[in-house]
Structure 1
Protein backbone atom coordinates (compact mmCIF):
# COMPACT_ATOMS: atom_id res chain seq x y z
CA UNK A 1 0.00 0.00 0.00
CA UNK A 2 1.44 3.36 -1.03
CA UNK A 3 1.00 6.60 0.90
CA UNK A 4 -1.90 7.79 -1.23
CA UNK A 5 -3.83 4.52 -0.86
CA UNK A 6 -3.28 4.69 2.88
CA UNK A 7 -4.70 8.21 3.05
CA UNK A 8 -7.73 7.21 0.97
CA UNK A 9 -8.47 4.20 3.18
CA UNK A 10 -8.04 6.19 6.37
CA UNK A 11 -10.30 8.92 5.04
CA UNK A 12 -12.99 6.36 4.20
CA UNK A 13 -12.81 4.94 7.71
CA UNK A 14 -13.17 8.38 9.28
CA UNK A 15 -15.87 9.47 6.81
CA UNK A 16 -18.07 6.54 7.81
CA UNK A 17 -18.66 7.65 11.36
CA UNK A 18 -21.49 10.04 12.17
CA UNK A 19 -20.45 11.91 14.28
CA UNK A 20 -16.72 11.12 14.08
CA UNK A 21 -15.56 8.32 16.40
CA UNK A 22 -14.80 9.40 19.95
CA UNK A 23 -11.29 9.27 21.28
CA UNK A 24 -11.98 6.57 23.88
CA UNK A 25 -9.52 3.89 22.68
CA UNK A 26 -11.77 0.82 22.93
CA UNK A 27 -14.66 2.54 21.18
CA UNK A 28 -12.65 4.35 18.51
CA UNK A 29 -10.64 1.34 17.42
CA UNK A 30 -13.82 -0.74 17.19
CA UNK A 31 -15.53 1.98 15.16
CA UNK A 32 -12.58 2.26 12.80
CA UNK A 33 -12.41 -1.48 12.24
CA UNK A 34 -16.11 -1.72 11.50
CA UNK A 35 -16.09 1.27 9.18
CA UNK A 36 -13.25 -0.13 7.09
CA UNK A 37 -14.82 -3.56 6.81
CA UNK A 38 -18.17 -2.13 5.82
CA UNK A 39 -16.53 -0.03 3.11
CA UNK A 40 -14.87 -3.16 1.73
CA UNK A 41 -18.27 -4.38 0.58
CA UNK A 42 -18.41 -1.68 -2.06
CA UNK A 43 -14.84 -0.57 -2.70
CA UNK A 44 -11.72 -2.46 -3.66
CA UNK A 45 -8.88 -2.55 -1.15
CA UNK A 46 -5.95 -4.73 -0.22
CA UNK A 47 -6.15 -6.82 2.95
CA UNK A 48 -3.07 -5.04 4.20
CA UNK A 49 -4.85 -1.72 3.83
CA UNK A 50 -7.46 -2.72 6.40
CA UNK A 51 -4.78 -3.60 8.91
CA UNK A 52 -2.93 -0.38 8.27
CA UNK A 53 -6.02 1.77 8.75
CA UNK A 54 -6.97 0.05 12.02
CA UNK A 55 -3.41 0.46 13.28
CA UNK A 56 -3.38 4.11 12.28
CA UNK A 57 -6.63 4.76 14.15
CA UNK A 58 -5.26 2.99 17.20
CA UNK A 59 -2.12 5.15 17.11
CA UNK A 60 -4.17 8.31 16.64
CA UNK A 61 -6.32 7.41 19.62
CA UNK A 62 -3.31 6.67 21.80
CA UNK A 63 -1.65 9.96 20.98
CA UNK A 64 -4.66 12.26 20.92
CA UNK A 65 -6.32 11.60 24.28
CA UNK A 66 -9.95 11.32 25.32
CA UNK A 67 -12.99 13.36 24.39
CA UNK A 68 -15.18 13.81 21.33
CA UNK A 69 -18.83 13.46 20.36
CA UNK A 70 -20.98 10.47 21.33
CA UNK A 71 -20.50 7.49 19.06
CA UNK A 72 -23.42 6.79 16.75
CA UNK A 73 -21.98 3.90 14.77
CA UNK A 74 -23.92 0.70 15.40
CA UNK A 75 -22.67 -1.37 12.47
CA UNK A 76 -21.26 -4.81 13.26
CA UNK A 77 -17.77 -5.98 12.40
CA UNK A 78 -17.59 -6.78 8.73
CA UNK A 79 -15.90 -9.46 6.71
CA UNK A 80 -12.76 -8.47 4.86
CA UNK A 81 -14.14 -9.77 1.57
CA UNK A 82 -14.35 -7.27 -1.30
CA UNK A 83 -17.57 -7.15 -3.32
CA UNK A 84 -16.92 -4.21 -5.62
CA UNK A 85 -14.24 -2.75 -7.80
CA UNK A 86 -13.96 0.99 -7.30
CA UNK A 87 -10.41 2.13 -8.08
CA UNK A 88 -8.82 4.62 -5.72
CA UNK A 89 -8.72 8.10 -7.25
CA UNK A 90 -5.47 9.33 -8.66
CA UNK A 91 -3.41 11.82 -6.67
CA UNK A 92 -4.91 14.63 -8.75
CA UNK A 93 -8.54 13.57 -8.20
CA UNK A 94 -10.73 14.96 -5.46
CA UNK A 95 -13.93 13.14 -4.69
CA UNK A 96 -16.96 15.39 -4.53
CA UNK A 97 -19.63 14.29 -2.07
CA UNK A 98 -23.33 14.46 -3.00
CA UNK A 99 -25.05 17.81 -2.66
CA UNK A 100 -26.60 18.46 0.74
CA UNK A 101 -29.80 20.29 1.61
CA UNK A 102 -27.92 23.61 1.60
CA UNK A 103 -26.96 23.16 -2.04
CA UNK A 104 -23.33 22.49 -1.16
CA UNK A 105 -21.44 19.17 -1.24
CA UNK A 106 -21.68 17.12 1.93
CA UNK A 107 -18.67 17.18 4.25
CA UNK A 108 -18.36 13.38 4.15
CA UNK A 109 -20.25 10.27 3.09
CA UNK A 110 -23.02 10.52 5.67
CA UNK A 111 -26.27 12.42 5.06
CA UNK A 112 -27.27 14.54 8.06
CA UNK A 113 -30.44 16.05 6.61
CA UNK A 114 -32.67 15.69 3.58
CA UNK A 115 -34.38 12.81 1.82
CA UNK A 116 -31.61 10.23 2.21
CA UNK A 117 -31.26 11.02 5.90
CA UNK A 118 -35.01 10.61 6.30
CA UNK A 119 -34.90 7.22 4.59
CA UNK A 120 -32.28 6.05 7.06
CA UNK A 121 -34.34 7.33 9.99
CA UNK A 122 -37.44 5.61 8.68
CA UNK A 123 -35.50 2.36 8.48
CA UNK A 124 -34.92 2.59 12.24
CA UNK A 125 -38.60 3.34 12.87
CA UNK A 126 -39.54 0.24 10.86
CA UNK A 127 -36.96 -1.88 12.65
CA UNK A 128 -38.25 -0.83 16.06
CA UNK A 129 -41.75 -1.77 14.93
CA UNK A 130 -40.75 -5.43 14.47
CA UNK A 131 -38.95 -5.99 17.79
CA UNK A 132 -40.40 -9.31 18.97
CA UNK A 133 -42.58 -9.59 22.05
CA UNK A 134 -40.66 -10.13 25.27
CA UNK A 135 -37.66 -8.06 24.15
CA UNK A 136 -37.02 -4.40 24.88
CA UNK A 137 -35.45 -2.02 22.37
CA UNK A 138 -32.95 -0.25 24.61
CA UNK A 139 -32.73 3.51 24.33
CA UNK A 140 -29.44 4.76 25.72
CA UNK A 141 -27.96 7.82 23.99
CA UNK A 142 -24.33 6.77 24.40
CA UNK A 143 -21.35 8.83 25.51
CA UNK A 144 -17.79 9.43 24.35
CA UNK A 145 -17.01 6.08 25.99
CA UNK A 146 -20.06 4.01 25.06
CA UNK A 147 -21.97 3.33 21.86
CA UNK A 148 -25.59 4.42 21.67
CA UNK A 149 -28.15 1.65 21.73
CA UNK A 150 -29.98 2.85 18.62
CA UNK A 151 -28.67 4.26 15.40
CA UNK A 152 -29.59 4.95 11.78
CA UNK A 153 -27.55 6.10 8.84
CA UNK A 154 -27.70 6.89 5.15
CA UNK A 155 -24.31 6.74 3.50
CA UNK A 156 -23.14 7.60 0.01
CA UNK A 157 -21.06 4.74 -1.36
CA UNK A 158 -20.06 5.47 -4.94
CA UNK A 159 -21.33 6.21 -8.42
CA UNK A 160 -23.27 3.46 -10.19
CA UNK A 161 -24.21 4.16 -13.78
CA UNK A 162 -23.31 7.79 -13.28
CA UNK A 163 -25.68 8.17 -10.33
CA UNK A 164 -25.04 8.39 -6.60
CA UNK A 165 -25.66 5.02 -4.92
CA UNK A 166 -26.39 4.79 -1.20
CA UNK A 167 -26.53 2.29 1.60
CA UNK A 168 -28.73 2.50 4.69
CA UNK A 169 -28.37 1.01 8.12
CA UNK A 170 -30.45 0.84 11.29
CA UNK A 171 -29.71 -1.05 14.48
CA UNK A 172 -31.04 -1.39 17.99
CA UNK A 173 -29.82 -3.18 21.05
CA UNK A 174 -32.35 -5.61 22.50
CA UNK A 175 -32.61 -6.46 26.16
CA UNK A 176 -34.13 -9.40 27.99
CA UNK A 177 -33.42 -11.01 31.38
CA UNK A 178 -30.33 -8.85 31.82
CA UNK A 179 -28.85 -9.84 28.46
CA UNK A 180 -28.07 -7.39 25.66
CA UNK A 181 -28.10 -8.40 22.00
CA UNK A 182 -28.60 -6.53 18.75
CA UNK A 183 -30.91 -6.45 15.75
CA UNK A 184 -29.71 -4.77 12.56
CA UNK A 185 -30.92 -4.15 9.03
CA UNK A 186 -28.77 -2.79 6.23
CA UNK A 187 -29.80 -2.05 2.66
CA UNK A 188 -27.71 -1.51 -0.48
CA UNK A 189 -29.08 0.22 -3.55
CA UNK A 190 -28.83 -1.61 -6.91
CA UNK A 191 -25.34 -2.06 -8.32
CA UNK A 192 -23.39 -1.71 -5.09
CA UNK A 193 -22.87 -5.38 -4.30
CA UNK A 194 -21.44 -7.93 -6.67
CA UNK A 195 -23.60 -10.68 -5.18
CA UNK A 196 -24.59 -12.79 -8.16
CA UNK A 197 -25.90 -16.31 -7.66
CA UNK A 198 -28.52 -17.68 -5.31
CA UNK A 199 -29.65 -16.21 -2.00
CA UNK A 200 -26.82 -17.92 -0.12
CA UNK A 201 -24.32 -16.22 -2.41
CA UNK A 202 -25.95 -12.95 -1.40
CA UNK A 203 -25.78 -13.93 2.28
CA UNK A 204 -22.08 -14.64 1.93
CA UNK A 205 -21.52 -11.04 0.83
CA UNK A 206 -22.42 -9.83 4.33
CA UNK A 207 -19.77 -8.44 6.71
CA UNK A 208 -19.58 -11.59 8.82
CA UNK A 209 -18.33 -14.79 7.16
CA UNK A 210 -20.86 -17.62 7.17
CA UNK A 211 -18.59 -19.87 9.19
CA UNK A 212 -21.46 -22.12 10.23
CA UNK A 213 -22.96 -22.39 6.75
CA UNK A 214 -25.98 -21.07 4.88
CA UNK A 215 -29.24 -22.58 3.72
CA UNK A 216 -32.02 -21.53 1.41
CA UNK A 217 -35.40 -20.92 3.01
CA UNK A 218 -38.67 -20.27 1.20
CA UNK A 219 -41.02 -17.79 2.83
CA UNK A 220 -44.78 -18.22 3.01
CA UNK A 221 -44.96 -15.80 0.09
CA UNK A 222 -42.79 -18.09 -2.04
CA UNK A 223 -39.63 -15.98 -1.94
CA UNK A 224 -36.23 -17.60 -1.46
CA UNK A 225 -34.00 -16.21 1.27
CA UNK A 226 -30.47 -17.12 2.31
CA UNK A 227 -30.03 -17.64 6.05
CA UNK A 228 -26.46 -17.84 7.29
CA UNK A 229 -24.87 -18.40 10.68
CA UNK A 230 -21.66 -17.01 12.09
CA UNK A 231 -20.06 -18.42 15.19
CA UNK A 232 -16.91 -16.28 15.27
CA UNK A 233 -18.02 -13.79 17.91
CA UNK A 234 -19.77 -11.44 15.52
CA UNK A 235 -23.39 -11.71 14.32
CA UNK A 236 -24.93 -15.08 15.09
CA UNK A 237 -27.41 -15.20 12.23
CA UNK A 238 -28.53 -13.11 9.29
CA UNK A 239 -30.87 -13.36 6.34
CA UNK A 240 -30.24 -11.95 2.88
CA UNK A 241 -32.53 -11.14 0.00
CA UNK A 242 -31.96 -9.52 -3.39
CA UNK A 243 -35.03 -7.77 -4.77
CA UNK A 244 -35.86 -7.87 -8.46
CA UNK A 245 -34.55 -4.32 -8.90
CA UNK A 246 -31.16 -5.31 -7.45
CA UNK A 247 -31.63 -3.86 -3.97
CA UNK A 248 -29.96 -6.10 -1.38
CA UNK A 249 -31.25 -6.36 2.19
CA UNK A 250 -29.54 -8.00 5.18
CA UNK A 251 -31.27 -8.57 8.50
CA UNK A 252 -28.91 -9.69 11.26
CA UNK A 253 -29.23 -10.62 14.92
CA UNK A 254 -26.89 -11.51 17.76
CA UNK A 255 -27.38 -12.72 21.31
CA UNK A 256 -24.54 -10.66 22.78
CA UNK A 257 -23.55 -7.11 21.88
CA UNK A 258 -20.27 -6.85 23.75
CA UNK A 259 -19.16 -3.49 22.41
CA UNK A 260 -18.56 -0.69 24.93
CA UNK A 261 -22.12 0.24 25.86
CA UNK A 262 -23.40 -3.24 25.15
CA UNK A 263 -23.47 -5.94 27.78
CA UNK A 264 -21.57 -8.80 29.36
CA UNK A 265 -24.51 -11.21 29.38
CA UNK A 266 -26.11 -12.75 26.31
CA UNK A 267 -29.80 -12.93 25.55
CA UNK A 268 -31.34 -16.29 26.42
CA UNK A 269 -32.03 -16.93 22.71
CA UNK A 270 -31.92 -15.19 19.37
CA UNK A 271 -34.77 -12.67 19.24
CA UNK A 272 -36.22 -13.93 15.96
CA UNK A 273 -36.92 -17.42 14.74
CA UNK A 274 -35.53 -18.57 11.42
CA UNK A 275 -38.94 -18.10 9.79
CA UNK A 276 -39.19 -14.68 11.43
CA UNK A 277 -35.86 -13.52 10.02
CA UNK A 278 -36.80 -14.81 6.56
CA UNK A 279 -40.16 -13.04 6.62
CA UNK A 280 -38.71 -9.71 7.71
CA UNK A 281 -35.81 -9.53 5.27
CA UNK A 282 -38.29 -9.57 2.36
CA UNK A 283 -40.67 -7.12 4.06
CA UNK A 284 -41.31 -4.13 1.82
CA UNK A 285 -40.69 -1.80 4.78
CA UNK A 286 -37.00 -2.60 4.41
CA UNK A 287 -36.96 -2.28 0.64
CA UNK A 288 -35.52 1.23 0.44
CA UNK A 289 -36.06 2.50 -3.08
CA UNK A 290 -33.27 4.25 -4.92
CA UNK A 291 -34.21 7.80 -5.82
Structure 2
Protein backbone atom coordinates (compact mmCIF):
# COMPACT_ATOMS: atom_id res chain seq x y z
CA UNK A 1 0.00 0.00 0.00
CA UNK A 2 1.42 3.36 -1.04
CA UNK A 3 0.94 6.70 0.77
CA UNK A 4 -2.03 7.78 -1.37
CA UNK A 5 -3.87 4.51 -0.73
CA UNK A 6 -3.25 4.89 3.05
CA UNK A 7 -4.71 8.41 3.09
CA UNK A 8 -7.78 7.25 1.12
CA UNK A 9 -8.37 4.38 3.57
CA UNK A 10 -8.23 6.70 6.57
CA UNK A 11 -10.70 9.14 4.95
CA UNK A 12 -13.15 6.28 4.29
CA UNK A 13 -12.89 5.05 7.89
CA UNK A 14 -13.50 8.51 9.35
CA UNK A 15 -16.44 9.14 7.07
CA UNK A 16 -18.14 6.00 8.38
CA UNK A 17 -17.74 7.00 12.04
CA UNK A 18 -20.59 8.89 13.79
CA UNK A 19 -19.22 12.15 15.24
CA UNK A 20 -19.85 12.86 18.94
CA UNK A 21 -22.85 15.09 19.70
CA UNK A 22 -22.14 18.77 20.38
CA UNK A 23 -21.88 19.83 24.03
CA UNK A 24 -25.39 20.31 25.38
CA UNK A 25 -25.96 23.18 27.81
CA UNK A 26 -29.00 21.36 29.15
CA UNK A 27 -27.00 18.22 29.84
CA UNK A 28 -24.25 20.18 31.52
CA UNK A 29 -26.75 21.94 33.76
CA UNK A 30 -28.40 18.62 34.56
CA UNK A 31 -25.09 17.15 35.66
CA UNK A 32 -24.39 20.18 37.79
CA UNK A 33 -27.83 19.93 39.43
CA UNK A 34 -27.29 16.25 40.17
CA UNK A 35 -23.98 17.06 41.85
CA UNK A 36 -25.63 19.85 43.85
CA UNK A 37 -28.47 17.52 44.86
CA UNK A 38 -26.01 14.89 46.09
CA UNK A 39 -24.23 17.51 48.17
CA UNK A 40 -27.54 18.76 49.65
CA UNK A 41 -28.54 15.19 50.43
CA UNK A 42 -25.27 14.70 52.28
CA UNK A 43 -25.82 17.83 54.37
CA UNK A 44 -29.40 16.79 55.08
CA UNK A 45 -28.06 13.43 56.26
CA UNK A 46 -25.60 15.22 58.55
CA UNK A 47 -28.42 17.32 59.97
CA UNK A 48 -30.49 14.25 60.78
CA UNK A 49 -27.42 12.61 62.27
CA UNK A 50 -26.97 15.59 64.58
CA UNK A 51 -30.51 15.11 65.88
CA UNK A 52 -29.94 11.40 66.41
CA UNK A 53 -26.69 12.13 68.21
CA UNK A 54 -28.43 14.61 70.52
CA UNK A 55 -31.11 12.09 71.42
CA UNK A 56 -29.08 8.91 71.68
CA UNK A 57 -25.71 10.24 72.80
CA UNK A 58 -23.78 8.39 70.03
CA UNK A 59 -20.29 9.82 69.73
CA UNK A 60 -19.66 9.42 65.98
CA UNK A 61 -21.11 8.05 62.74
CA UNK A 62 -19.86 7.54 59.18
CA UNK A 63 -21.38 9.68 56.39
CA UNK A 64 -22.20 8.30 52.91
CA UNK A 65 -18.89 9.63 51.53
CA UNK A 66 -16.89 7.83 54.21
CA UNK A 67 -16.15 10.81 56.44
CA UNK A 68 -16.64 10.56 60.19
CA UNK A 69 -19.08 12.99 61.84
CA UNK A 70 -18.43 13.62 65.52
CA UNK A 71 -20.15 16.20 67.75
CA UNK A 72 -18.06 18.84 69.43
CA UNK A 73 -19.68 18.33 72.83
CA UNK A 74 -19.20 15.64 75.41
CA UNK A 75 -19.97 12.10 74.33
CA UNK A 76 -22.01 9.57 76.30
CA UNK A 77 -21.05 9.22 79.93
CA UNK A 78 -21.08 5.46 79.78
CA UNK A 79 -21.61 2.64 77.32
CA UNK A 80 -22.00 -1.14 77.34
CA UNK A 81 -18.25 -1.43 76.77
CA UNK A 82 -17.17 0.69 79.75
CA UNK A 83 -16.51 -0.77 83.17
CA UNK A 84 -18.56 1.96 84.88
CA UNK A 85 -22.27 0.99 84.66
CA UNK A 86 -25.21 3.36 84.72
CA UNK A 87 -26.67 4.06 88.19
CA UNK A 88 -28.69 1.26 89.75
CA UNK A 89 -32.45 1.43 89.28
CA UNK A 90 -35.14 0.43 91.79
CA UNK A 91 -35.01 -3.14 90.47
CA UNK A 92 -31.38 -3.44 91.59
CA UNK A 93 -30.11 -3.48 88.01
CA UNK A 94 -28.16 -0.75 86.15
CA UNK A 95 -30.34 1.65 84.20
CA UNK A 96 -30.56 1.31 80.40
CA UNK A 97 -29.28 4.86 79.95
CA UNK A 98 -28.90 8.07 81.96
CA UNK A 99 -32.68 8.64 82.42
CA UNK A 100 -34.46 7.29 85.51
CA UNK A 101 -37.87 5.84 84.62
CA UNK A 102 -38.83 4.68 88.11
CA UNK A 103 -37.71 5.02 91.70
CA UNK A 104 -36.84 7.97 93.92
CA UNK A 105 -35.00 9.92 91.21
CA UNK A 106 -37.96 9.66 88.86
CA UNK A 107 -40.27 10.80 91.67
CA UNK A 108 -38.08 13.85 92.25
CA UNK A 109 -38.60 14.85 88.63
CA UNK A 110 -42.35 14.35 88.98
CA UNK A 111 -42.33 16.44 92.18
CA UNK A 112 -40.48 19.24 90.39
CA UNK A 113 -43.17 19.29 87.70
CA UNK A 114 -45.91 19.62 90.33
CA UNK A 115 -44.07 22.52 91.97
CA UNK A 116 -43.56 24.23 88.61
CA UNK A 117 -47.30 24.01 87.89
CA UNK A 118 -48.08 25.45 91.32
CA UNK A 119 -46.15 28.71 90.72
CA UNK A 120 -47.90 29.68 87.46
CA UNK A 121 -49.65 33.01 88.17
CA UNK A 122 -53.40 33.53 87.99
CA UNK A 123 -54.66 34.58 84.59
CA UNK A 124 -52.79 31.70 82.95
CA UNK A 125 -53.83 28.07 82.61
CA UNK A 126 -51.66 24.95 82.46
CA UNK A 127 -53.23 22.51 79.97
CA UNK A 128 -52.55 18.80 80.34
CA UNK A 129 -51.74 16.09 77.82
CA UNK A 130 -54.39 13.42 77.14
CA UNK A 131 -54.10 10.58 79.65
CA UNK A 132 -53.87 8.12 76.75
CA UNK A 133 -50.51 9.55 75.66
CA UNK A 134 -47.28 7.92 76.78
CA UNK A 135 -44.60 9.91 78.60
CA UNK A 136 -42.59 10.11 75.36
CA UNK A 137 -45.54 11.63 73.46
CA UNK A 138 -46.38 14.35 75.97
CA UNK A 139 -45.50 17.98 75.26
CA UNK A 140 -47.68 20.05 77.62
CA UNK A 141 -46.34 18.75 80.94
CA UNK A 142 -43.06 16.86 80.98
CA UNK A 143 -40.42 15.95 83.53
CA UNK A 144 -37.15 14.02 83.61
CA UNK A 145 -34.50 12.84 86.06
CA UNK A 146 -31.10 12.38 84.45
CA UNK A 147 -27.73 11.12 85.66
CA UNK A 148 -25.12 13.77 84.84
CA UNK A 149 -21.78 12.61 86.21
CA UNK A 150 -19.97 10.89 89.06
CA UNK A 151 -17.92 13.38 91.09
CA UNK A 152 -15.80 12.19 93.98
CA UNK A 153 -17.56 8.84 93.86
CA UNK A 154 -21.00 10.48 94.19
CA UNK A 155 -23.67 10.41 91.49
CA UNK A 156 -24.74 13.90 90.37
CA UNK A 157 -28.27 14.18 88.96
CA UNK A 158 -30.32 16.82 87.22
CA UNK A 159 -34.09 17.24 87.20
CA UNK A 160 -36.13 19.12 84.62
CA UNK A 161 -39.76 20.04 84.09
CA UNK A 162 -41.61 21.88 81.34
CA UNK A 163 -45.11 23.34 81.74
CA UNK A 164 -47.26 24.68 78.92
CA UNK A 165 -48.75 28.03 79.93
CA UNK A 166 -51.83 29.31 78.08
CA UNK A 167 -53.71 32.59 77.98
CA UNK A 168 -56.45 33.42 75.48
CA UNK A 169 -55.31 31.79 72.21
CA UNK A 170 -51.59 31.79 72.98
CA UNK A 171 -49.44 29.08 74.54
CA UNK A 172 -45.95 29.50 75.97
CA UNK A 173 -43.95 27.53 78.49
CA UNK A 174 -42.13 27.66 81.80
CA UNK A 175 -39.12 25.43 82.43
CA UNK A 176 -37.42 24.59 85.72
CA UNK A 177 -34.13 22.68 85.84
CA UNK A 178 -32.28 21.68 89.01
CA UNK A 179 -28.72 20.31 89.26
CA UNK A 180 -27.80 18.50 92.46
CA UNK A 181 -24.84 19.46 94.64
CA UNK A 182 -21.52 18.32 93.22
CA UNK A 183 -22.24 19.71 89.75
CA UNK A 184 -19.40 21.48 87.94
CA UNK A 185 -21.40 24.56 86.92
CA UNK A 186 -20.00 28.09 87.55
CA UNK A 187 -20.58 30.03 90.75
CA UNK A 188 -20.69 33.64 89.49
CA UNK A 189 -24.38 34.50 88.71
CA UNK A 190 -24.04 35.61 85.08
CA UNK A 191 -21.47 32.95 84.20
CA UNK A 192 -23.96 30.43 85.55
CA UNK A 193 -26.87 31.92 83.61
CA UNK A 194 -24.92 31.72 80.35
CA UNK A 195 -24.57 27.95 80.81
CA UNK A 196 -28.31 27.28 80.50
CA UNK A 197 -28.84 25.30 77.29
CA UNK A 198 -25.67 26.90 75.93
CA UNK A 199 -27.65 30.10 75.26
CA UNK A 200 -26.17 33.56 75.52
CA UNK A 201 -27.65 37.00 76.09
CA UNK A 202 -27.59 40.23 78.09
CA UNK A 203 -27.29 39.22 81.75
CA UNK A 204 -28.03 41.27 84.82
CA UNK A 205 -27.66 40.41 88.51
CA UNK A 206 -30.86 40.65 90.56
CA UNK A 207 -30.73 40.69 94.37
CA UNK A 208 -33.33 38.60 96.21
CA UNK A 209 -32.79 39.07 99.93
CA UNK A 210 -29.12 38.20 100.34
CA UNK A 211 -29.03 36.06 97.20
CA UNK A 212 -27.54 37.20 93.89
CA UNK A 213 -29.33 35.78 90.85
CA UNK A 214 -28.21 35.96 87.24
CA UNK A 215 -31.02 36.83 84.82
CA UNK A 216 -30.85 36.90 81.03
CA UNK A 217 -33.69 39.12 79.86
CA UNK A 218 -32.63 39.45 76.22
CA UNK A 219 -31.17 36.38 74.48
CA UNK A 220 -28.77 36.87 71.57
CA UNK A 221 -29.12 34.75 68.47
CA UNK A 222 -31.39 32.14 70.03
CA UNK A 223 -35.19 32.24 70.16
CA UNK A 224 -35.89 28.97 71.97
CA UNK A 225 -36.69 30.88 75.18
CA UNK A 226 -37.12 34.54 76.05
CA UNK A 227 -35.83 34.91 79.62
CA UNK A 228 -34.20 32.77 82.31
CA UNK A 229 -32.71 33.06 85.78
CA UNK A 230 -29.95 31.09 87.50
CA UNK A 231 -28.99 30.63 91.15
CA UNK A 232 -26.52 28.47 93.04
CA UNK A 233 -27.58 27.69 96.60
CA UNK A 234 -24.87 27.70 99.31
CA UNK A 235 -24.98 23.88 99.35
CA UNK A 236 -24.15 23.77 95.62
CA UNK A 237 -27.62 22.99 94.21
CA UNK A 238 -28.22 24.99 91.01
CA UNK A 239 -31.67 26.14 89.85
CA UNK A 240 -32.62 27.53 86.44
CA UNK A 241 -36.07 28.98 85.77
CA UNK A 242 -36.94 29.94 82.18
CA UNK A 243 -39.94 31.23 80.27
CA UNK A 244 -40.90 31.62 76.63
CA UNK A 245 -43.88 33.08 74.80
CA UNK A 246 -44.02 30.10 72.42
CA UNK A 247 -44.43 26.39 73.17
CA UNK A 248 -43.96 25.17 69.60
CA UNK A 249 -44.53 26.22 66.01
CA UNK A 250 -48.00 24.64 65.83
CA UNK A 251 -49.55 27.03 68.38
CA UNK A 252 -49.88 30.83 68.57
CA UNK A 253 -47.53 32.55 71.00
CA UNK A 254 -48.47 34.33 74.22
CA UNK A 255 -48.78 38.09 74.02
CA UNK A 256 -46.90 38.49 77.30
CA UNK A 257 -44.62 36.43 79.52
CA UNK A 258 -46.01 34.97 82.77
CA UNK A 259 -43.33 36.49 85.05
CA UNK A 260 -41.53 39.81 85.39
CA UNK A 261 -37.73 39.80 85.69
CA UNK A 262 -37.82 40.24 89.51
CA UNK A 263 -40.37 37.42 89.79
CA UNK A 264 -38.21 35.16 87.64
CA UNK A 265 -35.24 35.87 89.91
CA UNK A 266 -37.28 35.13 93.02
CA UNK A 267 -38.37 31.77 91.62
CA UNK A 268 -34.73 30.70 91.21
CA UNK A 269 -34.20 30.98 94.99
CA UNK A 270 -37.62 29.52 95.88
CA UNK A 271 -37.21 26.62 98.29
CA UNK A 272 -39.82 24.64 96.37
CA UNK A 273 -37.21 24.08 93.67
CA UNK A 274 -34.33 23.44 96.09
CA UNK A 275 -34.20 19.68 95.56
CA UNK A 276 -31.82 17.68 97.75
Q: TM-score, normalised by structure 1?
A: 0.66
Extract structure 1 runs of 4+ deviating beyond 3 A: 28-36, 85-92, 141-147
Change over 3 Å in CA distance of 1:109–1:145 after alignment to 2: closer
CA contact (8 A) 2:170 2:251 kept: yes
- Report the counterpart of residue 132 of structure 1 in structure 2: 121
1:206 maps onto 2:227 in alignment: no
State the Cα distance separating 1:191 from its structure 2 match: 2.6
1:241 corresponds in structure 2 to 231
Partner of 2:37: none
Q: Match for 2:95 among 106, 110, 116? A: 106
Spell out, residue by residue over 1:150-207, the C-alpha distance to the aligned partner (whole angstroms, 9 max, x if none).
01111111101101110000111111111111100001112323313x2111101111
Q: C-alpha distance in 2, partners of 1:170/1:256?
A: 16
C-alpha deviations, 1:211-241, integer Å up to 9, x for none? 3x0000111x231100013252111000000
Which whole-Å CA distance do the structure 2 matches of 1:206 and 1:146 have between them? 24
1:93-120 per-residue CA deviation (whole Å, 9 max, x = no partner) reads 2441111111111122111221111111
**Structure 2, unpaired ranges of 5+:** 1-47, 65-70
Q: 2 CA distance for matches of 1:160 and 1:87?
A: 16
Kept in 1, the 8 Å contact 2:135–2:142? The answer is no
Counterpart residue number, 1:173: 164
Q: Which has the higher strand share?
A: 2
> Following the alignment from structure 1 to structure 2, what is the Cα–Cα distance between the partners of residues 144 and 117?
12
Q: State whether residues 81 and 205 of structure 1, in contact with CA within 8 Å, keep that contact through their aligned partners in structure 2.
A: no
Higher relative contact order (CA 8 A, sep 6+): 1
Name the counterpart of 1:273: 260
Q: Tell me, what secondary structure is at the counterpart of 1:207?
A: helix
Partner of 2:219: 230
For residue 248 of structure 1, report the CA deviation from its aligned partner. 0.8
Question: What CA RMSD, in Å, does the superposition of the two structures yield over aligned residues?
Answer: 3.3
1:1-291 matches, within 5 Å, as: 32=52, 35=55, 93-141=82-130, 147-196=138-187, 198-211=188-201, 213-219=202-208, 221-228=209-216, 229-231=218-220, 232-258=222-248, 263-289=250-276
Assess if the C-alpha contact under 8 Å between 1:208 and 1:234 holds in 2. Answer: no
Q: 2:82 and 2:164 mapped to 1: Cα distance?
A: 40
Structure 1: give runs of 5+ residues left out of the alignment: 1-27, 40-44, 57-79
The answer to whether the 8 Å contact 2:174/2:241 transfers is: yes
Q: How many residues align?
A: 218
